A and B are shown apart, each in its own frame.
Chain A
């Protein structure tokens, strides 16, 4: 499968623990608009990577903020 690179969104987050990750997982897995996602728990910025044809960075940020996390797009 090839992914259009412009459909990949990258964020800096304050996700800390595996429990945090599971909370995010529940939300992102539930959305059919999210094709793929992962969080690099090894990185200081806990980088969240989302692949989606339709969602905008703002929409993802608001979802994460709704669940109670800080999230900012990395340029």
Chain B
């Protein structure tokens, strides 16, 4: 009888993430993945129904991982400044540690699978973040703005800095490295804007 081999499965996932990041969604194929993972195409199809099934499962898994890390040490009842700070720390730590996973998640999110994955994997996360901002508005710690305006101001600067870091340079090709100092500086400005 064939059995599921956990090591093999996680190797396949790692290879799939790398291939998606390197070759993009269009350049990804089950054949190439089987070859790269050192398993037969048939074995790959035993684990996953088809390419869509595999991509959805990988996306959902990264989403769950992201959610778990981002909610670590955070709770929606926290004061706004403390809670948002925790979000920044967690999101930065995740992006810095799981660079390939983040890049892969972005590719999947912008594909036709995007909506399903966001719905599936981020359910609990959305509720927690929603409760957090509602509490903050109720307590007068956060001005009332639309979700889009809130998100772009609350997290936009962080993700811009992380992107600079990822590219190793900022505007005009200036060398750039993300640091706690840079994060603290921009976080203070964000707080000022939102309070």
Contacts and interface: CB of A to CB of B under 8 A. Distances in A.
A10 B46 CA distance: 7
B31 A44 contact: yes
Of B3, B31, B50, B52, most A-chain CB atoms within 10 Å:
B50
A73 B42 CA distance: 9
B169 interface: no
Interface in A59-75: 73-75
A44 B45 contact: no
B1 A47 contact: no
Contacts, number: 51
Contacts of A73: 42
Contact of A43 (B3, B31, B40): B31
A42 B45 contact: no
B31 A38 contact: no
Interface in B2-31: 2-4, 29-31
| Contact residues on A (Cβ < 8 Å of other chain), bracket | 10 to 19
B46 A75 contact: no
B1 A6 contact: yes
A21 B195 CA distance: 58
A47 to B, nearest CB: 5
A44 B2 CA distance: 25
Interface of B: 1-4, 29-31, 40-42, 45-46, 49-52
6 contacts: A38-B50, A40-B30, A40-B50, A42-B50, A45-B41, A75-B42
